[in-house]
Structure 1
C-alpha cells in the first residue's frame, strides 16, 4: 500500500477490466491503460462503456485496460469515511441545496451562506477523521497510482507503459512520465491540466482551469443562434425574432437571477419532486459545456425552465450531484451505485485532489472572495470553486507527492518515447495554455502538442 514503506504488510487490490484486442496476433501492440479523469473517474467503468469505441479508434491493436485508481470504485480497501453510499449521497444533497456562492446571493446573507456551506463540506472531513481508513486516505495520491501503473505493466510482462489519459488523467500520465521516464512508450494526454499547479496549490489549479471557459460559453451561444430554432430552443426570443449574442446571454443571466431569488418548484420528475435554484442551473450549464453534442438538450431544458417547467431539467441536476442518471424504476435502480467497497467512488475526489496539494487554509471570507474571483475568471467558475473549497482543512496529505521538476531546463528527464499532448482551443476546464505549458516543460524531444479547433472538454 505504502511504497515508502516496502516492509509494510498492507496491500491494495486494483480492479481492472479489459476489452481484448481484435487485430490479428501479428498486428497487436500490447496493452493500453486508460484513465478518464476526475480525479475519481473509474477506468473499469470507462472500458465497460467505451472499450469498443477506443479499440476501434486504434484498429483493435491494443488490449484496452481500465483500472480503478486507489479510492475509486471497485479498488479496495475503501477509504471508509462512510460505510454506505447513502450517507455520502445525503451530504452531497445538503451541499447541493446550499450550493455555490453565486452572484445572485444577497450580500447581506453572503457570510451566512458561506458559513453553512463550509460546515457541510467540513462534515465529510470530520467523518473521515472519525471512522476513515487512514492508510488509504494517505496513500491514494497520484504518485502512488502512477507506481501502481508500473506494477500493472510489470504484471502484464510488458517493457513499458502505453497510456491514454483524459483531463485529470493527463496529470496522472505526466506524473508517471516524470518519475518513470524510461518506461514511457506510447502516451496520449488529452485535455491537458496544469500538473504543476495541481501539486503546488489547488486554488491556483482552479484558476488555471478557467482560462478558456469564456470561449466555450461563447461557442454555445453563437452555435445556438447559427443552428436556429429547429436545433436550439433558445435561438429565438419571445417575439420569434432571431436572438443576438447579447440578448441570449442576458436571458440566461435573468434566468439565473430569477431562480436565485425564488427557486422553481418541481412537483414531479424522474427523481421525484424538488426545487431548481440558480446555482443548480449554473452547474448544469458549466457541466454541459464539456460536451457540445449535448447542447441541444441543454438549450431545450433551459427554454422549459424559462417557461416554469423543470421536470426534465431536475433529474439532470441530480445526475450531476450523485454521479449517475437515474434509470426508470422498471430498470435496475441500483445500477452501479452499490459497490463492493461501499462509499469509495463518491469519496474519491478528496483524498486524491486534496491530498496531492499542500494544506488549503482559507477563512470563510477568503472562500467568499475566491468564489467571486473564480466567477470573474469564467462562466461557471463558482462551481469549480466549490470543488476546490472541499479541500479546506483537509488534513490527510498524500504520503508521496511530486513537486517537480516539470521542465527539462530544471532537471526533468527525457522520456523513452515522446508524449502526444492534445488540446482543443476552447476547453472549459483544461485550457490550451495548460497544454502549451506542459508540452514545453517536457521539451521537444519528449513531447509534441496537437491542437484541435473546437469546443468542449478534450478532443
Structure 2
C-alpha cells in the first residue's frame, strides 16, 4: 500500500462525528442565503459553456443547504459525458464576502460530510459570518460520482488479510501483487471510465467550475493536508482566478513516492517517540527510557507479524493493521491516552481495541460496513497523480532505506508501489514544483510536529509558490487551524477576510 495513504486521516477524518444528514426537503431561505446560485457569466470555450452557465438549485438539508453540479467526465473531451459533484453550503450569517470552498484532505476525504457534520471544526465563527462556507466531494469521492470497487467483505480481506510469507520475499510480493491486481480490476469493472479521470488536475478544473457557478470571480479556499495539493494545483492552473488560499498541513508537490514514504515514516516515528516521552511521565504501559519503550513497540509489531492476534469477530490483527492502529491516534496529541490503552490491550493478547482503531482509520463501522469510499478514492487518485515502479530490486532497496530512517515504523511502509503499479489505468502525471506565477499571496501553514505532512513540506511549498508565505505552528499534530491556537486562527481569518499578510512568519 502506498505511503501516501497516510494522508487520508486529515482534519476531517479525525473530527467527523457520527451524526448523519437526513433527507432534503423543499427549498427554504436561511439568513444570508438564497435557494439559487447565479453563475458569473464569464466567457469560456463553447464546449464548456453548458457547464459554466449552470444555475445551482439549493435544497434545505437540516442546518445546511445541498446541491448537485455537473462537470465533464473528461476535461480534455467535454462532450464525452458528465459526472455529478455534490456540494453543501452554510450561508454567511453576516455581510457576505463570497464563497469559501473547503477540502478536508485525503485524497478521498468528503468535504460534504466535513462541512455538514463538523462546520465549527472546519471554520471559525468569523469565517462563517463573512463567507458562504461550501463543502464538496471531489470527483470519485463520496456523494459525487464515486469510485466503486469491493463490497464490505472483500474490503475486509483486502485491508486486514494476513500474508503468511516473509515480508519482502518473492512469495510475499507475488501474493500482495495479486491482491492489488484483483482490487484494481474490481475498481475498473465497477467504476468504468471515471476511474481514469479522478486525477488532481481534473479535480482542480472542477474547482474552477464550482467557483464560477457559485458566482465568485476568484476562488477563496481552505485546504487541509492533501487539500493543499489540490489548492496549489488550482493556483498553478488559474493564477489569475486565484483569490485567498490557505493551505494547512502542506504537501510538497515535488516529493516522490519514496520521499513521501521516508518523510512520513520518520514523522510518525517522531510523533510516536513524543507520545512515549509523555506517556513515561505518567500512567504508561511502558517503562524505562524512551528508547527502551520504542524497542518494546518494535518487538510488539514483530510479534503480531509472526503470530497475528484473533479478534472477537474472527478478523486477525497483523502488523499492518497494528501500524494503522498506532498511526491513527498520532494525528492529535489529545488522543495519546487512548493509544496507551490500545498498546496495553495488545500486550495482553487482545486484538479488538487495535482493530477498532484501524477501523476508525479506514472508516469501517462496527457492523462491518464502510462509511464511505475514501480508501478506494485514495488509491484511484494517487495512482493517477504519480508514476510507480514495482521492480523487486528497487523496492527492496527502498524498503531498506525506510527501515534505516525509521526503524520502528519504516519496515511496514515499504513496497508501497505495488498497489499503483498494478492499477488498471496508468498514471502519467509528472511531479514537480508549483509556482503559480501571478497569483496573489497564498498562505502555507506547517506544524513543526506534524507526522503526516512534515513541516519541511510546508517550507518547500511556500518557497516554490511565487507568492507563497509561511505560517509556522510550533506544536504537535496534523494541521494547525482550529486547534485551539489563537495565533494561527487569527492569522488565517485576518488573511481570508481582510487580505492581511503577516510581515514575517508569526511562528505561532
TM-score tier after normalising by the smaller chain length: 0.7 to 0.9
> Would the aligned equivalents of 2:328 and 2:357 in 1 still touch at CA under 8 Å?
no
| Residue pairs, 1:364-443, within 5 angstroms | 364-378=392-406, 379-385=408-414, 388-397=417-426, 401=429, 406-407=434-435, 412-415=436-439, 417-443=440-466
Give 5+ residue unaligned stretches, structure 2: 1-72, 481-508
Shift of 1:351: 2.4
Q: Measure, in 1, the Cα distance between the counterparts of 2:447 and 2:471.
A: 9
Match of 1:126 among 182, 185, 191: 185
Shift of 1:300: 0.9
The answer for the alignment partner of 2:309 in structure 1 is 264
Q: Measure, in 1, the Cα distance between the counterparts of 2:303 and 2:430.
A: 45
Residues 209 and 249 of structure 1, relative CA distance in 2, 3 Å threshold:
closer
Partner of 2:478: helix, strand, or coil?
A: coil
Q: Measure, in 1, the Cα distance between the counterparts of 2:184 and 2:402.
A: 24
Q: Deviations 1:244-273 (Å, cap 9, x if unpaired)?
A: 21221122122122222222233x2xxx23
Q: Measure, in 1, the Cα distance between the counterparts of 2:374 and 2:212.
A: 26
The answer for the alignment partner of 2:75 in structure 1 is 3
The answer for the alignment partner of 2:160 in structure 1 is 96
Q: Deviations 1:195-243 (Å, cap 9, x if unpaired)?
A: 123xxx43444334445334322211112123x01xxx32x54xxxxx3
The answer for the alignment partner of 1:254 in structure 2 is 299
Mapped pair 1:324 → 2:344: no
Residues 32 and 324 of structure 1, relative CA distance in 2, 3 Å threshold:
farther
Mapped pair 1:75 → 2:75: no
CA RMSD of aligned residues (A): 2.6
Provide TM-score, normalisation by structure 2: 0.73
Residues 252 and 203 of structure 1, relative CA distance in 2, 3 Å threshold:
closer
Residues 348 and 162 of structure 1, relative CA distance in 2, 3 Å threshold:
same
Residues 194 and 164 of structure 1, relative CA distance in 2, 3 Å threshold:
same
Q: Measure, in 2, the Cα distance between the counterparts of 1:79 and 1:212.
A: 30
Q: Measure, in 2, the Cα distance between the counterparts of 1:246 and 1:414.
A: 49
Identify which range, 360-369 or 300-309, moves more after superposition: 360-369
> Would the aligned equivalents of 2:195 and 2:380 in 1 still touch at CA under 8 Å?
yes
The answer for the alignment partner of 2:499 in structure 1 is none
Match of 2:249 among 180, 188, 191: 191
Q: Measure, in 2, the Cα distance between the counterparts of 1:208 and 1:244.
A: 25
> Would the aligned equivalents of 1:91 and 1:120 in 2 still touch at CA under 8 Å?
no
Shift of 1:79: 3.7
Match of 2:199 among 141, 152, 173: 141
Give 5+ residue unaligned stretches, structure 1: 238-242, 338-343
The answer for the alignment partner of 1:16 in structure 2 is 87
Residues 389 and 225 of structure 1, relative CA distance in 2, 3 Å threshold:
same
Partner of 2:205: helix, strand, or coil?
A: helix
> Would the aligned equivalents of 2:329 and 2:338 in 1 still touch at CA under 8 Å?
no
Shift of 1:420: 0.8
The answer for the alignment partner of 1:56 in structure 2 is 124
Provide TM-score, normalisation by structure 1: 0.80
